[in-house]
Amino acid sequence: MKKVAVLYICTGRYSIFWKDFYKSAKSKLFANSSLEFFVFTDQDIDVSTNDVHLIYQEKMGWPYDTLMRFHLFSKIKDELKHFDYIFFMNANLIVEKEISSSLLPDKEDLFGVIHPGFYNKDPAEFTYERNSKSTAYIPQGKGHHYFMGGFNGGKSSAFIQLIEQLSSNIQMDLDNNIIAIWHDESHLNRYFLDHQERLKIVGPEYGYPQGWNLPLERKITILDKTKFGGHSFLRNEK
């Protein structure tokens, strides 16, 4: 039985998503593997089972709550080494259909989901980071897919390498007063481009926005944040 670590951040108001996320992931994600959840939060969330590890994390403010994710993950690197796989999932995801362990990358090392907003789009429209001074830079003409930052993962050693490289890249950008256009997602896209031969790519059935109608079978829903007060309310921007 494979051991899978699920990394989850819910600082501030994003903690409202935890309960339903956990229930859905616990019952439907990677059947026949053993899941443990690492939850970074500053809120009192209801945890009554021993498969959930709480890590106190203060809310840093937008966009740092999402941008600094790889810094947070690198703090628990030693614990993560004991797993076969590591996945990150955004707070507002719900696993709708049973997802078997065959989704775990086997011959590849890493796992990425095509962003639903860029599914079947011309790569010229991808919102990669275009500032050549950023470590997330991707020039026009390069890159075949635009990946979502909200669900990704890989074999433990490969994902720990990603965590180390991206925390260092993001830190280098910050030291140069640069924040990539889509934060962590821009850095992830650059990393996946650099490691594309080791990447398992799946479609937006694993990141299917609530209320959308794509010609795909819905497996994981991205809850519509406007139904929960909207982006700026959830991020506590006002």
Q: Which residues bind ligand UDP (CB under 6 A)?
A: 9-12, 14, 59, 65-66, 90-92, 150, 231, 235-236
Query: Which is nearer to ligand UDP, 4 or 91 (by Cβ)?
Result: 91
Nearer to ligand UDP, 160 or 223 (CB): 223
Q: Least Å distance between CB 197 and ligand UDP?
A: 27
| Nearest distance from C-beta of residue 234 to ligand UDP, angstroms | 6
Distance CA 223, CA 213 (A): 14
Q: Looking at beta carbons only, is 142 or 231 nearer to ligand UDP?
A: 231
* Residue 200 burial by Cβ neighbours in a 10 Å radius (0-12, 13-18, 19+): middle
Which residues, 6+ apart, have CB-to-CB distance to 168 below 8 Å? Answer: none
Sign of CA dihedral 134, 140, 141, 144: positive
Phi and psi torsions of 198, nearest 5°: -110, 15
At closest approach, how far in Å is the CB of 154 from ligand UDP?
Answer: 18
How big is the CA angle at 152 (ends 110 and 207), to the nearest 5 degrees? 130
CB closer to ligand UDP, 92 vs 134: 92
Q: Give least dist CB 106 to ligand UDP, A.
A: 27
